[in-house]
Structures are given as structure tokens and as C-alpha cells.
């Protein structure tokens, strides 16, 4: 997942709109899937 992609994910959900992009490198695949599942219900979303 790219910084732009993560920015798109976060910006399009008001609750995490202010997520700092500089922290992206600290977010693991598990963390991304958690965010996706909790906010979008995309439980089967995969990042390869």
C-alpha cells in the first residue's frame, strides 16, 4: 500500500482524517486490515 493509497483511505473516513502520513511506515498489514475491517467492513481485503 502506498502513502497516497493510505491517505485516500484515511481522508475518506472522517474519524481518521488527520492521520499523519509520516507514520505510515509503522503501520503493519494487520493494522491496515484492522482499520479496513472496522471502518469499511472489508474483512477480506488483502494487501500483497
d(CA 25, CA 15): 20
In a domain, 26, yes or no: yes
Residue 3 pLDDT: 54
Residue 30 pLDDT: 57
d(CA 14, CA 29): 21
d(CA 20, CA 43): 24
pLDDT tens figures, 2-30:
555 665 555 555 444 445 444 444 555 55
SS3 per-residue string spanning the chain: CCHHHHHHHHHCCHHHCCCCHHHHHHCCHHHHHHHHHHHHCCCCCCCC
Q: Which domain holds residue 26?
A: 3-40
In a domain, 29, yes or no: yes
In a domain, 48, yes or no: no
Residue 30 or 1, more confident = 30
The mean per-residue pLDDT over the stretch 31-42 comes to: 64
In a domain, 16, yes or no: yes
Residue 1 or 28, more confident = 28
Number of domains in the chain: 1
In a domain, 45, yes or no: no
In a domain, 11, yes or no: yes
What is the reported pTM? 0.25
Amino acid at each position: 500500500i502506498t502513502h497516497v493509497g493510505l491517505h485516500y483511505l484515511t481522508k475518506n473516513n472522517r474519524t481518521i482524517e488527520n492521520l499523519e502520513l509520516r507514520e505510515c511506515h509503522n503501520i503493519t498489514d494487520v493494522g491496515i486490515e484492522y482499520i479496513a475491517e472496522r471502518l469499511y467492513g472489508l474483512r477480506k481485503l488483502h494487501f500483497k
